[in-house]
């Protein structure tokens, strides 16, 4: 199978990818920590600041421009996630802050005897906000484990934990540590059947595949623009009737209607303009490279169709990157890969691949790669429950190779050479 994307064209749109470190082209494999942005995103942000900078709701031109851009950004995010309405999209500083905020609002309806479900496969941003809310409200937290051999979430265990006392099920779409994609659609269905709310952390899934909140049947879903080629912003989807019903922590003059009641204070308007441009970028990927995938989304049209076909082209490209990273890692004696390696199951993971190398500290490996112009993360990447469960927290965690659609097989080859140089 050939590549579905022309990476040289894609890469030409990202100025940062042309950078060199000490004369060596930089290889960005730190993407789960944050992706690079296209020139279109940079232009949208600087254009906003240069021409349209104002607060909202004023009776003058720049205020009207700001309103228009921000409204359009809500619509763009609704298209990306297939929300039924732009009023179901809440912007905020990042996923963590939005999750703390909305978990407080949900907590107002929770008390002793109620139960909250969290998983050990999640980033701490989808664990601690719920644990602290449960502490505040006297509710009980139930933990779902993952299998440290297969790196799969214990879905039967999760299902068994859901009962008539369950109020919230918080689950990750894709793990930022080991890359596993979870069957969140089933989880949301089980939560709904029990009358519980489902909250999906999609931060690590959105850059890798098409998302459809209506098909998932989730009540809320959070993501971060800086993980999908945009600026440092967080986005929360919430079903309109739920956002409407919840009592937000907000100041009095702000209107008490979604989404504004959760968008407290003045937002990063330039960040919202950049987020809009990042969605436009992904739609353009669909227009250029998504042709063969459009038939699979015939219920959609316009930008929603472009986004779904584009994200499917990205997904297909990334299957080959996952295989290439695994192939390279498997040439290194003793390396232990922490995640799915079965080539027939690569559709159950994103190309975020963590490993340990006995006798070598993860930081030392990341430093050695960094010295060769290859950027990777080491540590727990805030997936503390994962490194604790794997017994790696006091050993420096893992090294994480995180590819996205602008990475090439040549870059993965360079990673392999650099690792073999360390032997």
Ligand X SMILES: Cc1ncc(COP(=O)(O)O)c(C=O)c1O
Q: Does 351 bind ligand X (CB under 6 A)?
A: no
Choice between 216 and 419, CB closer to ligand X: 216
CA distance 374 to 226: 20
Least distance from C-beta 76 to ligand X, angstroms?
A: 18
Choice between 116 and 235, CB closer to ligand X: 235
Q: Does 37 bind ligand X (CB under 6 A)?
A: no
- The DSSP call for residue 49 is I
Q: Which window, 38-46, 57-65, 89-97, 189-197, contacts ligand X (CB under 6 A)? A: 89-97
Choice between 225 and 419, CB closer to ligand X: 225
- Closest C-alpha to 276, from 53, 46, 11, 69: 69
Least distance from C-beta 232 to ligand X, angstroms?
A: 8
Q: Are residues 341 and 326 in contact, defined by beta-carbon separation less than 8 angstroms?
A: yes
Q: Are residues 359 and 377 in contact, defined by beta-carbon separation less than 8 angstroms?
A: no
Count of residues that bind ligand X according to CB under 6 A: 15
CA distance 71 to 266: 15
| Torsion (CA) 197, 201, 202, 204 in degrees, nearest 10 | -160
- Looking up tokens 């098409």 gives 210
Instruction: Reduce the DSSP state of residue 105 to 3 states and report it.
Output: helix
Instruction: Reduce the DSSP state of residue 124 to 3 states and report it.
Output: helix
Helices (H), 172-211: 184-193
Query: In which region does residue 19 sit, left (phi positive, over 0), alpha (psi from -120 to 50) or beta (all else)?
Result: beta
Q: Are residues 211 and 202 in contact, defined by beta-carbon separation less than 8 angstroms?
A: yes
Q: Are residues 146 and 118 in contact, defined by beta-carbon separation less than 8 angstroms?
A: no
Q: Does 123 bind ligand X (CB under 6 A)?
A: yes
Q: Which two tokens stand for residue 252?
A: 């009095």
Half-sphere exposure of 80 (CA within 13 A, CB side): 33
CA distance 139 to 131: 9
Least distance from C-beta 196 to ligand X, angstroms?
A: 21
Least distance from C-beta 382 to ligand X, angstroms?
A: 6
Q: Does 224 bind ligand X (CB under 6 A)?
A: yes
- Closest C-alpha to 294, from 308, 280, 275: 308
Residues numbered 204-223 forming contacts with ligand X, rule: CB under 6 A = 204
Least distance from C-beta 132 to ligand X, angstroms?
A: 15
Q: Does 95 bind ligand X (CB under 6 A)?
A: yes
Q: Which two tokens stand for residue 142?
A: 């139930």
Choice between 76 and 174, CB closer to ligand X: 174
Q: Does 94 bind ligand X (CB under 6 A)?
A: yes
Choice between 201 and 280, CB closer to ligand X: 201
Partners of residue 92 on adjacent β-strands: 234
Least distance from C-beta 256 to ligand X, angstroms?
A: 26
Choice between 204 and 322, CB closer to ligand X: 204
Choice between 172 and 274, CB closer to ligand X: 172
Choice between 103 and 126, CB closer to ligand X: 126
- The DSSP call for residue 182 is P
Least distance from C-beta 297 to ligand X, angstroms?
A: 25
Q: Does 269 bind ligand X (CB under 6 A)?
A: no
String marking each residue 154-183 x if it binds ligand X according to CB under 6 A = ------------------x---x-------
Q: Does 378 bind ligand X (CB under 6 A)?
A: no
Kindly tell me which residue out of 110, 125, 329, 415 binds ligand X, with binding defined by CB under 6 A.
125
CA distance 75 to 89: 8
Kindly tell me which residue out of 37, 73, 76, 203 binds ligand X, with binding defined by CB under 6 A.
203
Choice between 176 and 387, CB closer to ligand X: 176
Choice between 400 and 414, CB closer to ligand X: 400
Q: Does 234 bind ligand X (CB under 6 A)?
A: yes
Q: Return residues touching ligand X (CB under 6 A).
A: 32, 94-96, 123, 125-126, 172, 176, 201, 203-204, 224, 234, 382
């Amino acid at each position: 199978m050939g590549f579905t994307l022309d990476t040289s064209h894609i890469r030409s749109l990202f100025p940062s990818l042309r950078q060199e470190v000490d004369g060596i082209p930089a290889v960005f494999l730190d993407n789960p920590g944050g992706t690079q942005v296209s020139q279109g995103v940079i232009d949208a942000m600087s254009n906003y600041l240069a021409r349209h900078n104002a607060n909202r709701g004023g009776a003058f031109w720049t205020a009207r421009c700001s309103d228009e851009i921000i409204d359009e950004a809500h619509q763009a995010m609704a298209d990306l996630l297939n929300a039924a309405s732009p009023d179901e999209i809440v912007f905020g500083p990042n996923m963590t802050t939005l999750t703390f905020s909305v978990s407080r609002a949900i907590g107002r309806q929770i008390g002793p005897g109620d139960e909250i479900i969290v998983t050990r496969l999640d980033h701490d941003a989808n664990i601690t906000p719920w644990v602290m809310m449960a502490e505040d409200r006297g509710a009980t937290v139930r933990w779902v484990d993952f299998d440290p051999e297969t790196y799969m979430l214990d879905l039967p265990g999760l299902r068994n934990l859901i009962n008539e006392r369950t109020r919230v099920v918080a689950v990750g779409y894709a793990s930022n540590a080991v890359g596993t994609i979870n069957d969140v659609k089933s989880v949301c269905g089980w939560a709904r059947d029990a009358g519980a709310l489902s909250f999906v952390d999609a931060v690590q899934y959105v850059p890798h595949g098409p998302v459809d909140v209506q098909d998932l049947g989730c009540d809320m879903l959070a993501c971060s623009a800086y993980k999908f080629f945009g600026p440092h912003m967080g986005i929360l989807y919430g079903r309109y009737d739920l956002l409407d019903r919840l009592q937000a922590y907000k100041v009095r003059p702000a209107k008490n209607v979604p989404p504004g009641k959760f968008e407290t204070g003045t937002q990063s308007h330039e960040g919202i303009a950049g987020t809009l441009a990042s969605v436009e970028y992904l739609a353009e990927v669909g227009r250029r490279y998504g042709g063969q995938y459009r038939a699979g989304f015939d219920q959609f049209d316009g930008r929603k169709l472009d986004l779904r076909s584009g994200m499917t082209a990205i997904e297909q490209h990334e299957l080959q990157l996952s295989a290439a990273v695994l192939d390279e890692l498997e040439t290194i004696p003793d390396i232990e890969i922490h995640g799915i390696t079965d080539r027939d199951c690569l559709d159950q993971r994103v190309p975020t691949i963590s490993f340990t190398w006995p006798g070598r500290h993860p930081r030392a490996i990341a430093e050695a790669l960094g010295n060769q112009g290859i950027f990777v993360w080491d540590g727990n990447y805030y997936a503390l429950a994962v490194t604790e469960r794997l017994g790696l927290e006091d050993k420096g965690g893992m090294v994480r190779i995180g590819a996205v659609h602008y990475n090439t097989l040549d870059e993965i080859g360079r990673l392999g050479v650099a690792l073999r140089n360390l032997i």
